Amino acid sequence: MLDSVFITGALTHADQETRALYGQIAAMIKPFVKKVYQPGEDTLGSAQERYQQAMKRAKNSDLVLAVVNHPSTGQGFELQQALHANVPVIAVAQKGKTVSDMTRGTPLRAFIEYQNEKDLKAKLLKELEKLI
Protein backbone atom coordinates (compact mmCIF):
# COMPACT_ATOMS: atom_id res chain seq x y z
CA MET A 1 0.00 0.00 0.00
CA LEU A 2 1.19 3.50 -0.85
CA ASP A 3 1.08 6.21 1.82
CA SER A 4 -0.01 9.02 -0.50
CA VAL A 5 -0.82 9.82 -4.11
CA PHE A 6 -1.11 13.35 -5.43
CA ILE A 7 -3.52 13.63 -8.37
CA THR A 8 -2.79 16.68 -10.51
CA GLY A 9 -4.86 18.21 -13.25
CA ALA A 10 -6.19 21.40 -14.73
CA LEU A 11 -8.48 23.45 -12.50
CA THR A 12 -8.80 26.91 -14.00
CA HIS A 13 -10.25 25.73 -17.32
CA ALA A 14 -11.55 22.34 -16.21
CA ASP A 15 -15.20 21.55 -16.91
CA GLN A 16 -17.47 19.57 -14.59
CA GLU A 17 -16.69 16.30 -16.40
CA THR A 18 -12.98 16.77 -15.80
CA ARG A 19 -13.49 17.66 -12.16
CA ALA A 20 -15.67 14.55 -11.73
CA LEU A 21 -12.91 12.46 -13.31
CA TYR A 22 -10.54 13.41 -10.49
CA GLY A 23 -12.97 11.96 -7.96
CA GLN A 24 -13.47 8.83 -10.04
CA ILE A 25 -9.72 8.25 -10.21
CA ALA A 26 -9.40 8.81 -6.46
CA ALA A 27 -12.07 6.15 -5.88
CA MET A 28 -10.29 3.73 -8.24
CA ILE A 29 -6.98 3.92 -6.40
CA LYS A 30 -8.25 4.37 -2.82
CA PRO A 31 -7.98 0.62 -1.97
CA PHE A 32 -4.21 0.86 -2.64
CA VAL A 33 -3.46 4.22 -1.01
CA LYS A 34 -3.76 5.58 2.52
CA LYS A 35 -4.24 9.23 1.41
CA VAL A 36 -5.27 10.59 -1.98
CA TYR A 37 -4.93 14.32 -2.70
CA GLN A 38 -7.22 15.63 -5.47
CA PRO A 39 -7.11 18.83 -7.50
CA GLY A 40 -9.15 21.60 -5.94
CA GLU A 41 -9.57 20.10 -2.50
CA ASP A 42 -7.47 22.88 -0.97
CA THR A 43 -9.02 26.12 -2.14
CA LEU A 44 -8.51 28.07 1.07
CA GLY A 45 -5.61 30.41 1.63
CA SER A 46 -3.69 32.67 -0.67
CA ALA A 47 -2.36 31.69 -4.07
CA GLN A 48 1.11 31.50 -2.52
CA GLU A 49 -0.12 29.13 0.21
CA ARG A 50 -1.83 26.88 -2.37
CA TYR A 51 1.35 26.87 -4.45
CA GLN A 52 3.47 25.88 -1.45
CA GLN A 53 1.01 23.12 -0.52
CA ALA A 54 1.03 21.72 -4.07
CA MET A 55 4.83 21.74 -4.25
CA LYS A 56 5.04 19.99 -0.87
CA ARG A 57 2.61 17.29 -1.98
CA ALA A 58 4.38 16.81 -5.30
CA LYS A 59 7.73 16.15 -3.65
CA ASN A 60 6.48 14.19 -0.62
CA SER A 61 3.95 11.83 -2.18
CA ASP A 62 4.75 8.25 -3.16
CA LEU A 63 3.29 8.86 -6.61
CA VAL A 64 2.05 11.76 -8.69
CA LEU A 65 -0.82 10.88 -10.98
CA ALA A 66 -1.25 13.52 -13.68
CA VAL A 67 -4.50 13.82 -15.62
CA VAL A 68 -3.28 15.59 -18.76
CA ASN A 69 -6.51 15.92 -20.75
CA HIS A 70 -6.29 19.75 -20.61
CA PRO A 71 -3.30 22.12 -20.71
CA SER A 72 -2.21 23.38 -17.29
CA THR A 73 0.83 25.49 -16.54
CA GLY A 74 0.51 24.80 -12.82
CA GLN A 75 0.52 21.09 -13.45
CA GLY A 76 3.85 21.45 -15.25
CA PHE A 77 5.31 22.96 -12.09
CA GLU A 78 3.93 20.07 -10.03
CA LEU A 79 5.36 17.44 -12.39
CA GLN A 80 8.80 19.00 -12.33
CA GLN A 81 8.78 19.25 -8.53
CA ALA A 82 7.94 15.54 -8.31
CA LEU A 83 10.58 14.53 -10.82
CA HIS A 84 13.29 16.56 -9.06
CA ALA A 85 12.37 14.72 -5.85
CA ASN A 86 12.51 11.34 -7.65
CA VAL A 87 8.78 10.77 -7.15
CA PRO A 88 7.38 8.54 -9.90
CA VAL A 89 4.85 10.18 -12.20
CA ILE A 90 2.10 8.44 -14.16
CA ALA A 91 0.25 10.55 -16.72
CA VAL A 92 -3.18 9.62 -18.05
CA ALA A 93 -4.99 11.06 -21.07
CA GLN A 94 -8.14 10.13 -22.87
CA LYS A 95 -7.52 8.90 -26.43
CA GLY A 96 -7.85 11.74 -28.89
CA LYS A 97 -6.84 14.49 -26.44
CA THR A 98 -3.94 16.70 -27.45
CA VAL A 99 -1.07 16.33 -24.99
CA SER A 100 1.90 18.69 -25.26
CA ASP A 101 5.30 17.46 -26.34
CA MET A 102 6.71 18.78 -23.06
CA THR A 103 4.44 16.43 -21.15
CA ARG A 104 5.02 13.51 -23.52
CA GLY A 105 8.78 14.10 -23.30
CA THR A 106 8.81 14.13 -19.51
CA PRO A 107 10.53 11.07 -17.98
CA LEU A 108 7.32 9.47 -16.75
CA ARG A 109 6.93 6.11 -15.04
CA ALA A 110 4.08 5.50 -17.49
CA PHE A 111 1.85 7.30 -19.96
CA ILE A 112 -1.62 5.78 -20.12
CA GLU A 113 -4.04 6.51 -22.92
CA TYR A 114 -7.53 5.31 -22.19
CA GLN A 115 -10.83 5.05 -24.04
CA ASN A 116 -13.30 5.07 -21.15
CA GLU A 117 -13.45 4.79 -17.36
CA LYS A 118 -13.30 0.98 -17.42
CA ASP A 119 -10.21 1.03 -19.66
CA LEU A 120 -8.55 3.66 -17.45
CA LYS A 121 -9.19 1.66 -14.30
CA ALA A 122 -7.72 -1.54 -15.75
CA LYS A 123 -4.58 0.20 -17.04
CA LEU A 124 -4.09 2.34 -13.95
CA LEU A 125 -4.44 -0.53 -11.50
CA LYS A 126 -1.94 -2.55 -13.55
CA GLU A 127 0.61 0.26 -13.12
CA LEU A 128 -0.16 0.66 -9.42
CA GLU A 129 0.46 -3.04 -8.82
CA LYS A 130 4.02 -2.52 -10.07
CA LEU A 131 4.60 0.11 -7.37
CA ILE A 132 3.14 -1.74 -4.42
Range of the domain at 103: 2-131
d(CA 32, CA 9): 20
pLDDT digits (tens, 9 = 90+) for 17-54: 989 999 999 999 999 999 999 988 876 788 899 899 99
Q: CB within 8 A of 122, min separation 6: which ones?
A: none
pLDDT for the residue 80: 95
Q: What's the total number of domains in the chain?
A: 1
Q: What is the pLDDT of residue 70?
A: 87
- Please give the pLDDT value at position 71: 79
pLDDT on residue 41: 80
Is the four-CA dihedral 130, 115, 22, 82 of positive or negative sign?
positive
Residue 120: per-residue pLDDT: 97
* pLDDT tens by residue, 109-119: 999 999 999 99
d(Cα 114, Cα 122) in Å, to the nearest integer?
9
For residue 104, what is the domain's CATH number? 3.40.50.450
Contact 112, 123 (CB under 8 A): yes
